[in-house]
C-alpha cells in the first residue's frame, strides 16, 4: 500500500511540474482601458440630421458609456479637444484629460460630457501625443483609443507619425477613428492613423461604436492551417509570426502544432490589430493584411507546401570546417538559406540552385523540391593534398577541365614547411614562385590528379 501511495505521489509531482512547464507565455490582458479622444472643435456645431453634431455625438457616447458600467474589466477615460478656447485664437494645444481612468467613473464621464461645448480648432496630433501620459503603466491592461471627429488635423501636426511612434512604444494599440458625416475624400487622411470608419449618420455612428466595442472586448481565437499543394492542412512544426501590419512589430509567435487527429492548435489573438501572418518556412510565406473577426474563431489558411533537401558526402571531415551549402531560388539570386552538408532541411516546393563550398566549389542548378519528398544530392568524397616546400613563396591553385581550360580556385602564400587541405577529386595545376627567385621566369608549375580518399604529396623546391 505504501508503495502505491509513493508512486501516486511521484506521479502527482510529475503532473504539477509538467503543468508548470506548459505555462502560457503569450496572452492577452484580461482588462482593457478605452480612451475617448472627443472632437469638441467649432465645426461640431454643424447640424446632423435633426440636431447638432455635438449633441448627437454626446448622446450616443453617453449611452455607450452607460452600458459599459456593468463590465468590471473595462476602464474608461475622456480627453476632449477644441473645447477650451475660441477658434480665432487657434490654440493648437487645446486639449485636456477631463476624466482620467479609474473604476466606476462612468457617471463622471457622462456628467462632464454635458458641459463640453465646441469652441476651438482641431489639434488631433497634439491631443494624441498628450494621450500617451493618460494610460497608467500596467501590463494587466491593453490600451485602446477611440477618436471621434468631424474634421481633419488643423494645426499642421502629423497624427499618423504620432500614432505610429506611440504604437511602437506599446502605449496603445492601433486607434479606431470614427468620422462623423465626413466627406469620403478625407478617408486617406486617417488610414495611416488607425482603422477608419465613416459614420454618415447618427444610426451609423451608434452601429460603428458598438461594433468597435464588440471587436475590442470579445474573446477572439484563430488557428492557422498550413496547406500543401493539394490544399490539405498537413504541414506543421513551423514558426508562425503575427506581425502588426501598422508597426511591423511581431505581436505573437507560435510554433505551429497539430494534434494526433491532424487538427491545428487554437490560439487567442488580439482582434484590434491587423496582421501580416508570416509562415517561417524557407523561404517564408506571408499573408498580408489579415483582419480577424472579433468574438469568434478565425481560420487562416496559408499555402506552404514543403519538401526536404540533404547533400551527402563521405569523408567530409577532410575539410577543416564543416562544409556549407548555399541555397538560392532558381528564379533569383537571393540566398534563401545556408545549411551544413549531411543536414536535412525543409524548403518550399520549387526549383533551387545550390552552391557547395567544397574546394573547388560545386554548383548544381535546378534541383526540384517536391511535396513531402526528400531530395538527396550525393557528391564525391574529397581527397587530401600535402604541399611540402623549402622556402617562402606565393602561388595559386587551378582546376583544369577535360578540355584543358583552367579556373583559379585558391591562393597559397606559403611560409615554408608544409600545408595540407582537403580537395575534391579532379585535375589540378599549382603555380608557385619562391621568394628567393630573382624573376618571374623561375615560376614552378606542378600538375596532378586527386582521387577520392587519396592523400597526395607535392614537393616544391
pLDDT bin (cut points 50, 70, 90) of residue 392 is confident
Same structural domain, 168 and 72? yes
The C-alpha atoms of residue 251 and residue 275 are separated, in whole angstroms, by 9
To the nearest whole number, what is the mean pLDDT of the chain? Answer: 91
Query: What is the model's pLDDT at position 25?
Result: 67
pLDDT at position 18: 45
96 and 135 in a common domain: yes
CATH number of the domain that 58 lies in? 3.40.50.410
- The cell for 327 is 541555397
76 with 187, same domain: the answer is: yes
- The pLDDT assigned to 16 comes to 47
Choose one of 328, 348, 378: the last residue of a domain. 378
Domain that holds residue 244: 219-303
Is it the case that residue 100 has pLDDT exceeding 70?
yes
Residue 5 covered by a domain: no
Mean pLDDT of 366-383: 96
Most confident by average pLDDT, 22-26, 236-240, 457-461 = 236-240
pLDDT of 7: 53
2 part of a folded domain:
no
**181: pLDDT strictly greater than 70:** yes
Q: Are residues 179 and 53 in the same domain?
A: yes
SS3 content of the chain, % helix, strand, coil (to 5): 25, 40, 40
How far is the first Cα of the chain from the last one, in angstroms, to the nearest whole number? 85
Please report whether residue 3 resides in a domain: no
Are the beta carbons of 286 and 299 closer than 8 angstroms? no
Res 362: pLDDT: 97
Is the model's pLDDT at 21 over the cut of 80?
A: no
Instruction: Taking residues 6-12, report their average pLDDT.
Output: 52
Per-residue pLDDT tens digits for 29-54: 999 999 999 999 999 999 998 999 99
Q: Distance of CA 263 to CAs 62, 226, 269, 349, Å?
A: 45, 11, 18, 23
Assign 15 a pLDDT band (cuts: 50, 70, 90). very low
Q: Which whole number is the average pLDDT over 85-89?
A: 90
Residues 40 and 149 in one domain: yes
Mean pLDDT for 8-19 is 49
Mean pLDDT confidence for 8-13: 51
Same domain, 261 and 407: no
The pLDDT of residue 434 is: 83
Q: Are residues 127 and 180 in the same domain?
A: yes
Q: Is the peptide bond before 283 cis (omega within 30 degrees of 0)?
A: yes
pLDDT of 461: 73
Is residue 331 one of the residues assigned to a domain? yes
- Mean pLDDT of all residues in 149-175: 93
Last residue of a domain, one of 278, 303, 328: 303
Residue 9: pLDDT over 60: no
Residue 18 counted as domain residue: no
From 277, 303, 329, the end of a domain falls on: 303
* Mean per-residue pLDDT, 117-144: 95
Same domain for 39 and 178, yes or no, is yes
Q: What is the pLDDT of residue 17?
A: 46
Q: Indicate if 272 and 232 belong to the same structural domain.
A: yes
pLDDT at 189: 82
Place of cell 440636431: 51
Does 388 lie in the same domain as 443? Answer: yes
Look at residue 114 and tell me if it is in a domain: yes
Overall number of domains in the chain:
4
Does 354 share its domain with 396?
no
Measure the CA angle with vertex 207, ends 205 and 210; round to 5°: 110
Cα–Cα dist 395/412, whole Å: 5
Nearest to 127 by CA among 99, 157, 106, 105: 157
Alpha helix (H) residue ranges in 356-399: none
Amino acid at each position: 500500500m505504501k508503495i502505491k501511495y509513493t508512486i501516486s505521489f511521484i506521479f502527482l509531482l510529475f503532473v504539477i511540474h509538467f503543468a508548470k512547464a506548459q505555462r502560457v507565455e503569450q496572452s492577452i490582458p484580461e482588462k482593457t482601458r478605452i480612451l475617448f479622444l472627443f472632437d469638441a472643435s467649432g465645426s461640431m456645431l454643424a447640424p446632423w440630421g435633426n440636431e447638432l453634431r455635438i449633441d448627437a455625438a454626446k448622446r450616443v457616447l453617453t449611452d455607450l458609456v452607460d452600458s459599459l458600467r456593468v463590465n468590471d474589466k473595462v476602464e474608461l477615460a475622456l480627453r476632449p479637444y477644441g473645447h477650451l478656447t475660441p477658434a480665432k485664437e487657434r490654440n493648437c494645444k487645446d486639449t485636456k484629460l477631463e476624466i482620467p481612468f479609474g473604476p466606476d467613473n462612468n457617471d463622471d464621464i457622462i456628467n462632464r460630457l454635458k458641459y463640453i461645448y465646441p469652441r476651438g480648432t482641431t489639434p488631433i496630433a497634439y491631443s494624441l501625443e498628450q494621450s500617451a501620459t493618460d494610460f497608467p503603466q500596467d501590463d494587466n491592461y491593453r490600451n485602446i483609443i477611440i477618436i471621434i471627429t468631424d474634421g481633419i488635423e488643423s494645426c499642421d501636426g502629423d497624427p499618423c507619425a504620432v500614432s505610429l511612434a506611440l504604437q511602437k512604444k506599446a502605449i496603445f494599440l492601433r486607434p479606431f477613428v470614427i468620422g462623423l458625416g465626413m466627406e469620403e475624400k478625407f478617408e486617406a487622411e486617417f488610414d495611416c492613423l488607425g482603422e477608419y470608419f465613416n459614420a454618415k449618420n447618427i444610426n451609423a455612428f451608434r452601429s460603428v461604436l458598438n461594433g468597435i466595442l464588440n471587436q475590442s472586448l470579445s474573446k477572439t481565437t484563430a488557428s492557422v492551417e498550413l496547406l500543401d499543394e493539394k490544399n490539405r492542412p498537413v504541414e506543421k512544426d513551423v514558426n508562425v509570426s503575427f506581425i502588426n501590419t501598422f508597426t511591423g512589430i511581431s505581436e505573437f509567435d507560435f510554433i505551429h502544432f497539430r494534434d494526433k487527429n491532424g487538427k491545428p492548435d487554437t490560439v487567442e489573438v488580439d482582434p484590434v490589430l491587423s496582421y501580416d501572418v508570416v509562415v517561417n518556412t524557407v523561404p517564408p510565406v506571408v499573408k498580408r493584411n489579415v483582419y480577424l473577426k472579433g468574438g469568434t474563431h478565425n481560420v487562416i489558411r496559408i499555402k506552404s507546401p514543403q519538401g526536404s533537401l540533404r547533400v551527402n558526402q563521405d569523408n567530409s571531415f577532410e575539410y577543416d570546417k564543416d562544409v556549407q551549402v548555399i541555397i538560392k531560388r532558381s528564379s533569383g539570386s537571393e540566398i534563401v538559406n545556408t545549411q551544413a552538408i549531411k543536414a536535412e532541411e525543409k524548403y518550399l516546393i520549387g526549383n533551387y540552385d545550390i552552391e557547395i563550398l567544397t574546394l573547388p566549389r560545386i554548383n548544381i542548378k535546378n534541383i526540384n523540391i517536391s511535396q513531402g519528398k526528400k531530395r538527396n544530392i550525393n557528391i564525391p568524397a574529397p581527397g587530401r593534398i600535402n604541399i611540402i616546400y623549402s622556402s617562402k613563396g606565393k602561388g595559386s591553385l587551378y582546376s583544369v577541365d577535360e578540355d584543358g581550360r583552367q579556373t583559379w580556385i585558391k591562393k597559397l602564400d606559403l611560409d615554408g614547411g608544409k600545408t595540407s587541405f582537403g580537395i575534391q577529386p579532379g585535375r589540378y595545376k599549382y603555380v608557385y614562385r619562391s621568394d628567393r627567385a630573382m624573376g618571374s621566369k623561375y615560376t614552378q608549375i606542378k600538375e596532378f590528379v586527386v582521387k577520392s580518399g587519396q592523400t597526395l604529396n607535392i614537393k616544391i623546391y
